[in-house]
A and B are shown apart, each in its own frame.
Chain A
């Protein structure tokens, strides 16, 4: 194993180094960083990684976490199987 590879986003397999690289490339706000790297867009939808991403962004840019904010939270809260949705009534 490579010592310095810290996995931040487990769903999408993204390391802290990759996130830092993206910030260095100029994707230094939370929404653009999310889209550029794919963090917070996997199965957990950010529940496992968003706080770490905010921490890294705060350390790199010097901005406090409150200023960085969080990504737009999109429904559903938890993954919902298609067969469950199919039972709904379509208007």
Chain B
């Protein structure tokens, strides 16, 4: 069996790794280079504090995989588990309370925390800036070594990774996928995994498959290094502003992304202004520090905000996308599921692409 994976982000690499472990011949086609789309441009927030049972299970499993696989890859992911803190204005606290009940029922360690207690955990936090929050399992991972580690792990298992290799089309016979067209040649494969993130709709179109994911652009910046003082990853669900501190002291933060018409990674001053206001409101001492560098990443989100995982009406064409901004938290476990779908024909009903072909079954987010 030969499988082509499109995209060398965290989803594509973890899928390739799981398939190669089972002896499958895998080739990864990457239009750009590693760390280009979302996997190399995110802030590394990891948590099990999700709002759906299936997502919590995947996030738990992914953390376990991160723990185990660093040794196997001989790569340190710098995974710092100092907690994940969601804060909110009064209007949004109900949402956090509701998801907290679900999380607790599934054994996730999470508890409510008042703004003054937040200040005890994060020195300099302004208790007037939010009405409350919840703190639970999670922390910050460094996305780059995660990707390098998976690249090494894949290579050791014989996975061929072709960079600067844009997929131009597919060969289809009688409703079955037979090959991938890359650089003037057609490579015969049994399965194609569409793990191309922000490019997932474009790739689906090439295969004649409908996918209604949206492209989301999210901007991030880095503020100069300080002695570590922000332990948990902080996400304000009311303003969309998030802040964390990297292992080398840089304060990394951004604002939850907005829909874009194409995968565009340009930076804007508007973002910096919005982030500066939102971040300094939560942690006023950031005012006196300087922004060193800004960038943008692109990812995709499905109509109901949940991942799209499974074989499509085109036999052999498998979706593994729509992870939204939770890719780093979910993808290691999703790679295992995609491998099972390919190897055992197992259908993962919850996230099947076919759910969008039936009348509305949309959920929150």
Write the residues of chain A forming the contact surface with B, with a CB cutoff of 8 angstroms.
Answer: 12, 31-32, 35-36, 38, 41-43, 45, 74-76, 79-83, 85-86, 88-91
Given A75-B267, A90-B274, check contact A82 B287 (CB 8 Å): yes
Q: What number of A-B contacts does a CB cutoff of 8 Å give?
A: 77
Given A43-B224, A74-B293, A74-B294, check contact A83 B288 (CB 8 Å): yes
- Chain B interface size band reads 20 to 34
Expressed in whole angstroms, the Cα–Cα distance for A31 and B270 within the complex equals 26
A86 touches B290 (CB 8 A): no
Expressed in whole angstroms, the Cα–Cα distance for A83 and B289 within the complex equals 8
The answer to whether B35 has its CB under 8 Å from any CB of chain A is yes
Given contact pairs A32-B35, A80-B272, A81-B291, a sample of 12 additional A-B residue pairs in the complex whose CB atoms are under 8 Å apart: A31-B33, A35-B35, A38-B248, A41-B293, A42-B292, A74-B267, A75-B269, A81-B289, A86-B273, A88-B273, A90-B270, A90-B273
The answer to whether B295 has its CB under 8 Å from any CB of chain A is yes
Residue of chain B at shortest CB distance from A79: B290
A91 touches B40 (CB 8 A): no
Which residues of chain B are near A36, meaning CB under 8 Å?
A: 144, 148
B291 touches A74 (CB 8 A): no
Distance in angstroms from B270 CB to nearest chain A CB is: 5
Write the residues of chain B forming the contact surface with A, with a CB cutoff of 8 angstroms.
Answer: 33-35, 40, 144, 148, 222-224, 248, 267, 269-270, 272-277, 279-280, 286-295
A35 touches B144 (CB 8 A): yes
Given A38-B248, A82-B287, A82-B291, check contact A89 B273 (CB 8 Å): yes
Which residues of chain B are near A80, meaning CB under 8 Å?
A: 272, 290-291
Which residues of chain A are near B33, meaning CB under 8 Å?
A: 31-32
Distance in angstroms from A41 CB to nearest chain B CB is: 7
B267 touches A83 (CB 8 A): no
Which residues of chain B are near A35, meaning CB under 8 Å?
A: 35, 40, 144
Expressed in whole angstroms, the Cα–Cα distance for A68 and B293 within the complex equals 22
Given A74-B293, A90-B273, check contact A32 B288 (CB 8 Å): no
Expressed in whole angstroms, the Cα–Cα distance for A76 and B291 within the complex equals 8
Which residues of chain B are near A12, meaning CB under 8 Å?
A: 248
Expressed in whole angstroms, the Cα–Cα distance for A85 and B248 within the complex equals 24
A79 touches B292 (CB 8 A): yes
Which residues of chain A are near B277, meaning CB under 8 Å?
A: 86, 90
Which residues of chain B are near A82, meaning CB under 8 Å?
A: 223, 276, 279-280, 286-291
Expressed in whole angstroms, the Cα–Cα distance for A58 and B262 within the complex equals 35
Which residues of chain A are near B144, meaning CB under 8 Å?
A: 35-36
B294 touches A86 (CB 8 A): no
- 7 pairs of A and B residues whose beta carbons are closest in the complex: A79-B290, A88-B273, A85-B276, A83-B287, A90-B274, A86-B276, A82-B276
Expressed in whole angstroms, the Cα–Cα distance for A76 and B273 within the complex equals 12
A85 touches B224 (CB 8 A): no
Given A35-B144, A43-B224, A79-B224, check contact A86 B289 (CB 8 Å): no
B276 touches A32 (CB 8 A): no
A83 touches B280 (CB 8 A): yes
Expressed in whole angstroms, the Cα–Cα distance for A79 and B289 within the complex equals 9
Distance in angstroms from B224 CB to nearest chain A CB is: 6
Distance in angstroms from B259 CB to nearest chain A CB is: 16
Which residues of chain A are near B248, meaning CB under 8 Å?
A: 12, 38
A75 touches B294 (CB 8 A): yes
Expressed in whole angstroms, the Cα–Cα distance for A83 and B285 within the complex equals 10
Which residues of chain A are near B40, meaning CB under 8 Å?
A: 35
Distance in angstroms from B277 CB to nearest chain A CB is: 5
Expressed in whole angstroms, the Cα–Cα distance for A88 and B274 within the complex equals 8
A32 touches B290 (CB 8 A): no
Which residues of chain B are near A32, meaning CB under 8 Å?
A: 33-35
Which residues of chain A are near B293, meaning CB under 8 Å?
A: 41, 45, 74-76
